[in-house]
Amino acid sequence: MKNLLLICLFALSLNGFSQNKKSSNLETITLGGGCYWCVEAVYENLDGVKSVVSGFSGGNVPNPTYEEVCTGETGHAEVVQITYDKNVTDINEIFKVFFTVHDPTTLNRQGADVGTQYRSVIFYKNEEQKKAAQSIIAELNKAKVYSNPIVTKVEPFKVFYKAEDYHQNYYANNKSQPYCKMVIQPKIEKFEKVFKDKLKKKS
């Protein structure tokens, strides 16, 4: 009986270790690349990404609403908070996608979306993320990948506020909307073409 109890305790400890090891592989990064509907729709298809949540960061008003952020007066950027498995993808790949699917050279705008809430920004949570962001920006500028210099801000992460429920999975739930067809769909198609070997397997 005593031996059976010890075996059970050992099995439980191994299970806990396995779960902790699994959770330690997960990391989160917060990115702003224009309308969060667009960015969210892209990253939801990247293999290794576990969740993408649309929301707001970088402002000075607690718990802002979408309408408040749209005024440009709260200081927030529309962002996505991405949780990914470092065993499947990594921060460099996350950034490669980021700089592929939005224009990092236009200040406070993406296409017809204009305002500080649409600024290009990376909110880093640790030194690894900070250095990786600075490195890829330097490389892209040096290689003159874009006609103009990159204006993406690299700032320390402070707080993330989740957007209202109807903003989550917006593209998946509203594919027939004109904005989804004309703005989001082309970004997804570009992503799928460039990162075709990195797409999530369709179930």
Catalytic residue, from 8, 35, 70, 180: name it.
Answer: 35
Q: Could you tell me which residues come within 8 angstroms of residue 40 by beta carbon, excluding any fewer than 6 positions away?
A: 52, 53, 54, 80, 168, 169, 170, 171
Dihedrals φ, ψ of 164, to 5°? -55, 155
199, 192, 3: which is closest to 100 by C-alpha? 192
Q: 34 in the Ramachandran plot: left (φ > 0), alpha (ψ -120 to 50) or beta? A: left
Q: Is 8 among the residues known to form the active site?
A: no
Q: Which residues are catalytic?
A: 35
